[in-house]
Structure 1
Amino acid sequence: MKHITINNVTQPISSLIMGSDYFTPDNQEKVNSVIDSFIDIGGNTIDTAFIYAGGQSEAAIGNWIDQGNRGRINVWTKGGHPNQNGHTINRDELQEQLKVSLDRLKSESVELYALHRDDPTVRVEDILEWLNEHVQSKRIQAFGASNWSVERLEEANTYAEKNGLAGFSFSSPNLSLAKAKEPYWPGCVSVNQQMINWHEKSQLPLFSWSSQARGFFTGRFTRDNLENEDLVRVFYNDENWERYDRAEKLASEKGCSLIEIALAYVLNQKFPTGAIIGPQNREELQSCGEGAKITLTTEEVAWINLNS
């Protein structure tokens, strides 16, 4: 499996990143099995957040870590998601959320931390100062931004470079072969061509959520199957079905599955990419592992994305 080197992070990040939004202590046995199987296919990084399952995701990962497993995995958690009172991007709330997250994770630090959302009314200068405090105190090794615009990322990293601060080491929008017509959740950002161009130029790593388009490419859905309202709302249009058809044809030619081609698309960009995946059993994990092995040419990536 490919790996991505992040400055100040001890262990390189695997190109497959295990999603954990369904983890809870109530299904701890399944959580343990999935994490162990993920490591078996070469994965080494798990994604969670302060808000996932009301905090139960972090707690379940903490239970697994507490079994002597801390050195086997990179932990990436997130804070700063809006709550019922609005944005939480401020120094005190971020500090409290990270403290709670570390307690749940039974860890003194995490390798990766990200702001779950942006609050454009807050100066990037202030945000960087707050996050650098956590780097200096060794609570986090590196930080990134989830669902931030290119303009805010660029502004932040320019300021960091000029002032000798750590900047954002990665970005985490949605990148998938199926293009979102509208945000899957409020405030979410999906990659457009401007963002692709910026990442190609900057080479900032991108860790994609919903990298397989929420199951659009599993084969369970067709043009006439409208049962999943969210998929219909976000991904159903003629262009995405054409991408589906082309990916299906390429999968047949390569002797692999459609969903593996969709995953390979994310991992074969011209800049470092990781894909957050959500398998719930060994068979699905093995499929992701196979998808991560596929090499696509620049021409194949362009063709399945309707760029040629």
Structure 2
Amino acid sequence: MQYNNLGKAGIKVSEISFGSWLTFGNQLDTEGVKSCLRTAYENGVNFFDNAEAYANGLSESLMGMALKEYRREDLVISTKIFWGGKGPNDRGVSRKHLLEGTWNSLKRLQVDYVDLIFCHRPDPTTPIEETVFAMDYIIRNGLALYWGTSEWSAEQLEEAYLVADKRNLIPPTMEQPQYNMLVRTKVEKEFKPLYEKYGLGLTTWSPLASGVLTGKYNDGIPQDSRLAKFKNLREEFEKGGVLSQENIEKVRKLTKIANDLGATMAQLALAWILKNPNVSTVITGASRPEQVKENVKASQIKEKLTDSVMEEIEKILNNKPQ
């Protein structure tokens, strides 16, 4: 396992990380969570990603119980704040919800601090200056060590950096965008000026496009698949064109490259992301220990992605942002 600095920050995260979205509390019970986390940890994973919204908080509670058997210093734990409940002040990234959401997350995770904390989405009802002040308070008071954003635009991030510089506040360290072979623009084009200018780190999510890039949807949607179980996710993918016949055909062609490399399609998709030097870590999900082991092996496949192989992949994808 390779460990990368999170952007320009000193903290190091495993290039393959483990996230709880959609699985903890939905597909996995306590023993299932412990088994998957143990397998990830034993295979070199040190970064475990969560959010207050996942399974309405149950995901954090399950992770908190599972991680108590490990030395805290060996773990990088994150949470994300935005959707905390139904009340008018239970969502967004206002000072009130950021503080209350953080305190509640720490209780569920059974830790004194998280290593990384994210503003889970931009909040049009809260001034970015208020959010930056609140995150600065959270860091300076030891509730978290680094803060960042998820699915913010480059323009919003730029404003956050300018506010931090002007007010002498702690700026964001990382962003958590969706990034995979089918979704590339934000990471490869929009954020490009921010990597060198601010040392922005990336913890990317949905590397397999919820299974599309594993090939499991090549012949329709299996009844036991994620897109069959989560109707909203399926509708989002269909609306966004991720499940288009064109993309399915691309996956079929890419599978041949994976086979030639002695890899699964999932491993190829993960390894392709790892080749991007601006990606600090790829967040993976799994409902079985076997899936965790398969995902971790992508680190080895990365070395097989020569320039000629990457060019061959690029020809098939034909979606490089201009």
2:250 corresponds to 1:254: no
Q: Within 2, Cα distance between the matches of 1:271 and 1:233? A: 29
Deviations 1:204-247, CA, capped at 9 Å, x for gaps: 2221111110000222211x525647144441225423431342
2:207 corresponds to 1:207: no
Residue 280 of structure 1 corresponds to which residue in structure 2? Answer: 287
Residue 192 of structure 2 corresponds to which residue in structure 1? Answer: 197
User: Tell me, which stretches of 5 or more residues in structure 1 are unaligned?
Assistant: 181-189
Write out aligned runs for 1:86-235 (5 A).
87-179=91-183, 191=186, 193-195=188-190, 197-198=192-193, 201-202=196-197, 203-222=199-218, 224-225=219-220, 228=227, 230=234, 231-234=237-240, 235=242
2:11 corresponds to 1:4: no
2:314 corresponds to 1:302: yes
CA contact (8 A) 2:20 2:49 kept: yes
2:244 corresponds to 1:237: yes
Q: CA deviation at 1:158?
A: 2.8
Structure 2 counterpart of 1:191, which letter?
Answer: K
Q: Within 2, Cα distance between the matches of 1:158 and 1:304? A: 40
CA contact (8 A) 1:48 1:57 kept: yes
CA contact (8 A) 2:215 2:252 kept: no
Aligned-partner SS, 1:108: coil
Deviations 1:103-135, CA, capped at 9 Å, x for gaps: 111111010000111113422222111101011
Deviations 1:50-103, CA, capped at 9 Å, x for gaps: 111111111111212333543332110011237545642211111111001111
Aligned-partner SS, 2:115: strand
Kindly tell me: are residues 13 and 68 of structure 1, through their superposed partners in 2, closer, same or farther at Cα, counting changes over 3 Å? closer
Q: Within 2, Cα distance between the matches of 1:27 and 1:270? A: 35
Structure 1 counterpart of 2:12, which letter?
Answer: P
Structure 2 counterpart of 1:42, which letter?
Answer: G
Q: Within 1, Cα distance between the matches of 2:152 and 2:105? A: 22
User: Tell me, which stretches of 5 or more residues in structure 2 are unaligned?
Assistant: none
Q: CA deviation at 1:10?
A: 6.9
CA contact (8 A) 1:266 1:273 kept: no
Residue 185 of structure 1 corresponds to which residue in structure 2? Answer: none
CA contact (8 A) 1:205 1:271 kept: yes
Aligned-partner SS, 1:260: helix
TM-score by length of 1: 0.86
Structure 1 counterpart of 2:192, which letter?
Answer: N
- Aligned with residue 81 of structure 1, among 80, 83, 105: 83
Q: CA deviation at 1:303?
A: 3.5
Q: Within 2, Cα distance between the matches of 1:9 and 1:204? A: 9
Kindly tell me: are residues 192 and 140 of structure 1, through their superposed partners in 2, closer, same or farther at Cα, counting changes over 3 Å? closer
Residue 20 of structure 2 corresponds to which residue in structure 1? Answer: 20
Aligned residues: 298
Q: CA deviation at 1:179?
A: 3.2
Deviations 1:229-274, CA, capped at 9 Å, x for gaps: 7144441225423431342132122111111111112211141332
2:267 corresponds to 1:265: no
Q: Within 2, Cα distance between the matches of 1:71 and 1:192? A: 30
Tell me which of the two structures has the higher relative contact order, counting C-alpha pairs closer than 8 angstroms and 6 or more residues apart: 2
Residue 64 of structure 2 corresponds to which residue in structure 1? Answer: 62
Deviations 1:19-56, CA, capped at 9 Å, x for gaps: 11322498211111111100111100111111111111
CA contact (8 A) 2:177 2:187 kept: no
Q: CA RMSD in A?
A: 2.7
Aligned-partner SS, 2:286: coil
CA contact (8 A) 2:52 2:84 kept: no
Q: Within 2, Cα distance between the matches of 1:137 and 1:33? A: 33
Q: Which moved more, 1:145-154 or 1:79-88?
A: 79-88
Structure 2 counterpart of 1:272, which letter?
Answer: V
Kindly tell me: are residues 175 and 133 of structure 1, through their superposed partners in 2, closer, same or farther at Cα, counting changes over 3 Å? same
CA contact (8 A) 1:199 1:205 kept: no
CA contact (8 A) 2:49 2:77 kept: yes
CA contact (8 A) 2:14 2:45 kept: yes
CA contact (8 A) 1:15 1:275 kept: yes
Kindly tell me: are residues 192 and 241 of structure 1, through their superposed partners in 2, closer, same or farther at Cα, counting changes over 3 Å? farther
